[in-house]
Amino acid sequence: MDLIFEKSVKGRRGYENPACDVDVVAEVPVNLKRKEDCAWPELSELDVVRHFTSLSQRNYAIDTQFYPLGSCTMKYNPKFTETACQTPGLADLHPLLPQLKQGEKHAQGALELMYELEQWLAEITGLDYFTMQPLAGAHGELTGVMMMAAYHKARGNKKKYIIVPDSAHGTNPATASIAGYDIISIPSDRDGSMDMEILKQHVTDEVAGLMLTCPNTHGVFNSNVDEIAKLIHSVDGIMYYDGANLNAILGRCRPGDLGFDVMHINTHKTFTTPHGGGGPGAGPVGVNKKLEPFLPISRVVKKEDGTFALNYNYPDSIGYISSFYGNFGLLVRAFAYIVMAGQEGLKAVSDHAVLNANYIRAKLKDTFHLEFDRICMHESVFSAKHQAACGVHAVDIAKYLIDQGMHPPTVYFPLTVKEAVMIEPTETESKQTMDLFVKAMKEVDHLSQEGQTDFSNLPQTTPVTRPDEVRAARELNTNFFELRGHIT
């Protein structure tokens, strides 16, 4: 596909701006003025419409094909929630409105929505309070660990370490490190859970807390979670729940009831807000009563007269962690989704997520090596080591699936599984779609055994086939015009 600049024809016009009657240029400082005119492409209206329509059709999305990418749970974006967040009374509010004199009364609906969403998330998770401010799951993680640090500082605790299992969500070690802690990594046992005996050896008075993804990235629910919580609490440590895999247990058990003190929720993974593309995001953080004083400001409160307001009077708060009140439009989507699903619907999410993952596990366990051969939760982790022995690696399988019209599952993660292929069909996919995926995976295995198919030049159905990813990382060049002749 040619660039829009390459489609340009001198003199062609789709629209002409009226002449400007203000000398704008005279007001621009000399050092900010362009030294030469910008070379805008010249096209007709039809050229522009066709170009960007064609470009949009090259995007891969849940609206077009199957998306079994593991560790990024929900892909479903119902159009109802998109409509809800575009309601003029919510979409058109200025973020400064509640801070203006008499402005709060004009934002009562938005404030009530955030207040109610906090109550609902608290009920769903078994925690007591939530902040809606974090702008992504990783941002929520950092917010949670900052509150852990504030808790220990307030109590005069001298804490140095945060424990992170090797099966945890990938951002956990980075988050803890950014917050100033050293990391203790605990390996997994043969069942895919954190090794309890090794954990016990590392729990000391210097441990600030433990970050647990439950179920973990092996798709395994840790049955020792109650014992782990008691162990960490015995040294006044904090139990952190990574909400990345929350929809595997949604409506079935609550992190707060399992002994967790703080958690974040990835709304794009559990409550259907859009996923990927660089944002926007939302990562609400919930805490129990002992961490409540440290929640970020401002907080939405309900007054005695039944109206809602923003309260900044929390002297032990960690302060502001984002501008305004978070990404409000995504919170509206999450609110609308919970309303649409209801209590039984949210339970059905986890039921179908777990059922679908185990269907894939059962169908492929005789074809691909199953590292942890047990009932899984919402995702199953295979190894392509048998296929790799024939020269077909996990990355080759991923590229093959693209040509079959399917998004690849996660490959080479978790790092604990060699040639890992992490498959998460999600709760919204049908048996027919999963059967097509299983068929494609078995075809890959058959082709690998035959040894007659060249996987190195796949995919063939995309604008870019097989880039040299190692070279791209080592020789970064973002100038597309220079690269154009080197991409096949």
Q: What is the pLDDT of residue 116?
A: 97
In the chain the first and final C-alpha atoms are separated, in Å, by 12
Looking at residue 483, its pLDDT comes to 52
Q: What average pLDDT does the segment 98-118 reach?
A: 89
Ranking 10-14, 279-283, 301-305, 451-455 by mean pLDDT, the lowest is 279-283
- 445: which 2 tokens? 């295995």
Task: Tell which residue, 88, 133, 78, has the closest CA to residue 109.
Answer: 88
Tokens standing for 262? 């703080």
pLDDT at 58 over 90: no
* Candidate from 3-17, 72-86, 278-292 with smallest mean pLDDT: 72-86
The 10s digit of each residue's pLDDT in 141-167 is: 999 999 999 999 999 999 999 999 999
Supply the mean pLDDT for the chain. 90
pLDDT class for 277, splitting at 50, 70, 90? Answer: low
Q: Which uninterrupted H or E stretch holds 259?
A: none
Q: Please give the domain boundaries of the chain with CATH numbers for all domains.
A: 1-58 (no CATH), 79-339 (3.40.640.10), 349-473 (3.90.1150.10)
* Whether the Cβ atoms of residue 419 and residue 384 lie closer than 8 Å to each other: yes
Residue (of 264, 436, 431) closest to 356 by Cα position: 431
3-state secondary structure of 184: strand
Mean pLDDT (whole number) for 462-469: 83
Q: Which helix (H) or strand (E) holds 71?
A: none
On the question of a cis peptide bond just before residue 18, with omega within 30 degrees of 0, the verdict is no
Give the pLDDT score at 488: 43
Tell which wins on pLDDT, 170 or 24: 170
- The whole-number pLDDT of residue 275 equals 66
pLDDT of 482: 57
Distance CA 162, CA 209 (A): 5
Q: What is the pLDDT of residue 61?
A: 78
- CA dist., res. 418 & res. 420, Å (int): 5
Indicate the pLDDT class of residue 487, thresholds 50, 70 and 90.
very low
Average pLDDT score over residue span 426-433: 92
Task: Please say if the pLDDT value at position 73 is more than 80.
Answer: no
Q: How far apart are CA 169 and CA 327, in angstroms?
A: 23
Cβ neighbours around 453 below 10 Å, total: 16
Structure tokens at 104: 């709060």
Query: 207-217: per-residue pLDDT in tens?
Result: 999 999 999 99
Per residue in 320-332, pLDDT tens?
A: 998 878 889 999 9
**Residue 26's pLDDT is what?**
65
